[in-house]
Structure 1
Amino acid sequence: MVLKCIAIDDEPLALRLINEYVSRFPALQMVNTFEDAITGAEFLKNNPIDLLFVDINMPDITGIDLVRSLEVKPMVIFTTAYKNFAYEGFELEALDYILKPIDLKRFTKAVEKVIDYHKYKNKPAADETDESLYVYSEYRMVKIDTATIEYIESMEDYIKIHITNAKTILTLMPMKKVLEKLPSTKFQRIHRSYIVPVSKIRSIQNRKVQLTNIELPISETYNDFARNWSKQK
């Protein structure tokens, strides 16, 4: 696996640094670099790539507008000296957001995320052995080990993913979509507001599921799950 990359930045020094960092990763191949966004955008229209490093604050067109204009979007890492563009990066589902000056350690973390996410997106459809879930939270793509999920709670347009001994993760995603991303044999929806890991169910009684640290209701729509779980026991 080699991911083809380009970098767009109006600062030549930043481009050289990104190019030098990319050369340290066998999984990445820098195809081209551009000092202006318009030329870079033209290249992207005719040349499919896997990963785009793009500065946000450029004089001719912003990196945000460039990515928004693309019909086919590659994986994106934004680079910028400004923190105030984070929400726009989240809106465009950027994999990461690196502040300048770019540190090698921080760059490495972003690239590792890209490689992991590429493998995740390209796994066979029937593969349920993968133990990871990727969601956008706090303006970045976050990797979650599914074994650490205690339960998932709907909060209107958002969901809260409750994690064992860690901070709860809030992400903009419907329940149906997150359920599709989870292994169907390991997670079940029990209510319009709750998804639970089957392995962490301690008991089911009076249309309530007892998990390790919380009791959650089962709605009438999902009564079949309760009956099937009881039979398996």
Structure 2
Amino acid sequence: MPATLRCIAIDDEPIALDVINAHAGKVPFLYLRRTFVNAIEALAYLKTEPVELIFLDINMPDLTGLDFAQVVGNKSLVIFTTAYPEYALQGFELSALDYLLKPVAFGRFLQAANKAFERLAGSDKKSPYVFVKDGYDWVRINLDELLYVESEGNYLTFQEIGKKTLTRMTIGEAVDMLPADEFMRIHKSYIVALNRIEKIERHQLTIGKVQVPLSGSYRDELLERVK
């Protein structure tokens, strides 16, 4: 798999670029080489400095993101970042890798970045891990060992077999980051690994030796997914 992905970000709003720059700085495998407020300048840059990934706004003067993506073609993966959901269909028709709505939450950004990482690895398999921040460090969470995620105020605990990691993140961001076919939110404060569930009761389920609360609003969906 590639060690790092070279990328650029293009947006006519400097504040939006600041957000992308901050998010990219938290992802170990992203190398954000440049940011541009002018799409034409970005095209000139790409002629001599190719990159694997482009974070691209759509509604820009002179050259829209949709036009930019057509010019670039398949030379780089494109993740659109925009405040306008009505452009989503056009974006995917141009084979965009993903489509992020502003304001871009970090969890959703990380999910798109992981998708790019997997695509450039030349594999259809999902990444076997994600990274989360623990203090000043980045900690690898192995998905095949992850039992559940528990929300504690503004923090989450990722409970793996024999290890737990505390990180500042919302449970909604964790839902976006984790593979939806392997993990499910079953309570306002819990996400569980479906293949680790040993017993489902009316108001709780068992994972290993731990009982995790199960909300009634999630119970029917859970039973359908484990059948």
Q: TM-score range by the shorter chain?
A: 0.5 to 0.7
Question: Match of 1:7, as an amino acid?
Answer: A
Secondary structure, counterpart of 1:102 in structure 2 = coil
Structure 2 residue corresponding to 1:33, chosen from 32, 35, 39: 35
Where in structure 1 do 4 or more consecutive aligned residues deviate above 2 Å?
Answer: none
Question: Match of 1:98, as an amino acid?
Answer: L
Instruction: State the alpha-carbon separation in 2 of the partners of residues 26 and 34 from structure 1.
Output: 22
What displacement does 1:61 show? 0.8
Conserved 8 A contact 2:7-2:52: yes
What displacement does 1:103 show? 0.8
What displacement does 1:144 show? 10
Q: Bigger CA drift: 53-62 or 38-47?
A: 38-47
Alignment of 1:102-121 (within 5 A): 102-119=104-121, 121=122
What displacement does 1:89 show? 1.1
Write the deviation string for residues 121-158 of structure 1: whole angstroms up to 9, x where unpaired. 2x5xxxxxx656xxxxxxxxxx998xxxxxxxxxxxxx
Structure 1 residue corresponding to 2:17, chosen from 15, 18, 24: 15
Conserved 8 A contact 1:77-1:97: yes
Show the counterpart of 2:56.
54
Q: For structure 1, list consecutive stretches of 5 or more residues without a partner in the other structure.
A: 124-129, 133-142, 146-233
Show the counterpart of 1:2.
4
Structure 2 residue corresponding to 1:87, chosen from 81, 86, 89: 89
Alignment of 1:105-184 (within 5 A): 105-119=107-121, 121=122
RMSD: 2.0
Q: TM-score, normalised by structure 2?
A: 0.52
Instruction: State the alpha-carbon separation in 2 of the partners of residues 84 and 28 from structure 1.
Output: 28
Conserved 8 A contact 1:67-1:73: no
What displacement does 1:45 show? 2.0
Instruction: State the alpha-carbon separation in 2 of the partners of residues 83 and 52 from structure 1.
Output: 19
Q: Bigger CA drift: 110-119 or 13-22?
A: 110-119
Question: Match of 2:35, as an amino acid?
Answer: T
Instruction: State the alpha-carbon separation in 2 of the partners of residues 99 and 60 from structure 1.
Output: 22
Q: For structure 2, list consecutive stretches of 5 or more residues without a partner in the other structure.
A: 127-178, 182-227
What displacement does 1:73 show? 2.2
Question: Match of 1:111, as an amino acid?
Answer: A
What displacement does 1:117 show? 1.4
Instruction: State the alpha-carbon separation in 1 of the partners of residues 52 and 111 from structure 2.
Output: 17
What displacement does 1:108 show? 1.1
Q: TM-score, normalised by structure 1?
A: 0.51
